[in-house]
Amino acid sequence: MHKNPVVIIGAGPAGLAAGHELIRREKCPIILERDGIVGGISRTESYKDFHFDIGGHRFYTKNEEINRLWQEMLGADFLKVNRLSRLYYQGKFFNYPLRPTNALFNLGPVESLLVLISYCRARLSPQPQENSFEEWVVNRFGERLYRTFFKTYTEKVWGIPCKEIRADWAAQRIKGLSLLVAVTNALFGGQQAKSLIEQFSYPRLGPGMMWQRFMDRIVAGGGKVMLHCEVSAILHDNSRITAVEYRNGGTAGELNAEHFISSMPIPTLVQLFQPQPPAAVLQSGSRLAYRAFIIVVLIIDRQALFPDQWLYIHSPKVQVGRIQNFKNWSRSMVPDQSKTSIGMEYFCNENDSTWKRTDHELVEMATREMEEMGFGPASQVIDSYVVRQSHAYPVYDSTYKQNLLTIRNYLDNFSNLQTIGRSGMHRYNNMDHSMQTGILAAKNSCGEHHDIWAVNEEKSYLEEDKAARETPIVPEKILIRAFARMDKLAFAVAVGTVCGLLVFSATLWIISRGGDVLNSHLRLLGQYFIGYTVTVKGGFLAFGYSFFWGFLAGWLFAYLRNLFLAIYIYRIKRKVELLSLKDFFDNF
Residue 93 lies in a domain: no
**Looking at the structure, do residues 386 and 332 belong to the same domain, yes or no?**
yes
3-state secondary structure of 154: helix
Residues 377 and 235 in one domain: no
Domain with 70 in it: what CATH number? 3.50.50.60
HSE-up of residue 549 (Cα within 13 Å, Cβ side): 12
Q: Are residues 465 and 513 in the same domain?
A: no
What distance in Å separates the CA atoms of residue 450 and residue 115, rounded to the nearest whole number?
47
For residue 387, pLDDT over 60 is answered with yes
- 342-354: b or e for each residue (b if 16 or more CB lie within 10 Å)? bbbbbbbbbeeeb
* Beta bridge mates, 245: 233, 254
Residue 364 lies in a domain: yes
Domain CATH code at residue 305: 3.90.660.20
Same domain, 299 and 284: no
265 and 242 belong to one structural domain: yes
**Same domain, yes or no, for 321 and 253?**
no
Closest among 586, 490, 486, 467 to 157, alpha carbons compared: 586
Q: Residues 58, 202: contact at Cβ < 8 Å?
A: yes
Look at 233-247, 392-406, 454-468, 504-518 and tell me which has the smallest mean pLDDT: 454-468
Classify residue 122: in a domain, yes or no.
no
Same domain, 388 and 323: yes
Are 415 and 552 in a shared domain? Answer: no
The answer to whether the peptide bond before residue 97 is cis (omega within 30 degrees of 0) is yes
Question: 141-155, 189-203, 447-461, 560-574 — which is least confidently predicted?
Answer: 189-203
Pairing of strands 230-237, 240-248: antiparallel
Q: Is the pLDDT of residue 377 over 50?
A: yes
Please determine, for residue 100, whether its predicted confidence score (pLDDT) is greater than 60. Answer: yes
Cα dihedral 193, 197, 203, 209, rounded to 10, equals 40
Residue 567 domain-assigned?
yes
Strands 230-237, 273-274: pairing kind = parallel
pLDDT range class, residue 484, cuts 50, 70, 90:
low
What is the C-alpha separation between 132 and 563, in angstroms, rounded?
33
How far is Cα 214 from Cα 409, in angstroms, rounded to an integer?
Answer: 32
pLDDT tens, residue by residue, 269-308: 999 999 999 999 999 999 999 999 999 999 999 999 999 9
Of the residues 394, 425, 447, the one at which a domain ends:
394
Domain limit, last residue, from 436, 470, 504? 470
Burial class (CB in 10 A: 0-12, 13-18, 19+), 133: buried
Are 517 and 530 found together in one domain?
A: yes
pLDDT of residue 586: 53
Q: Is the pLDDT of residue 422 over 80?
A: yes
Residue 176 has pLDDT above 50, yes or no: no
Shared domain check, 537 and 456: no
Which of 353, 369, 394 is the last residue in one of the domains? 394
Predicted pLDDT at 2: 57
Q: List, in order, residues 6 or more apart from 197 with CB less than 8 Å away.
A: 60, 83
- Residues 297, 388, single domain; the answer is yes
Q: What is the pTM of this model?
A: 0.76
Judge whether 406 lies within some domain: yes
The three-state DSSP-derived secondary structure of 203-237 is ECCCHHHHHHHHHHHHHHCCCEEECCCEEEEEEEE
pLDDT at 402 over 50: yes
- Please tell me whether residues 272 and 351 are part of one structural domain: no
SS3 (DSSP) at 390: strand
Question: Is the pLDDT reported for residue 179 higher than 60?
Answer: no
Identify the helix (H) or strand (E) that includes residue 299: strand 290-300
Q: Enter the DSSP assignment of 296.
A: E
Tell me the residue range of the domain where 331 lies.
Answer: 290-394
Closest CA to 464 of 187, 168, 263, 180: 180
**Residue 403 belongs to a domain:** yes
Could you tell me if residue 182 is inside a domain? no
| 137 part of a folded domain | no
Task: Give the count of domains, the chain.
Answer: 3
